[in-house]
Amino acid sequence: MTDTTLLLESFRRNGRVNAHLLDDLTDADLALSDGRGGMTVARLLSHMGVSRGGWLAEMSPEHVASTVAITGTTPIWNWHADDLAAIRALLEAGDEAAIQAVQAHAASGEPFADPHGVGTFPSNPALFLLYMIVHDANHRGQIVALLRQAGASKERLDHLEDGWNLWRA
Binding site for a divalent metal cation: what residues are annotated? 47, 135, 139
Q: Is the preceding omega at residue 111 within 30 degrees of 0, hence cis?
A: no
Query: For residues 63 and 7, what is the distance between their CA atoms, to the nearest angstrom?
Result: 19
CB burial readout 50-73, b (16+ within 10 A) else e:
bbbbbbbbbbbeebbebbbebbee
Cβ contacts of 154 within 8 Å, gap of 6 or more:
none
Taking residue 80's Cβ as centre, other Cβ atoms within 10 Å add up to: 17
3-state DSSP call for residue 64? coil
Q: Binding site residues, as ranges?
A: 47, 135, 139
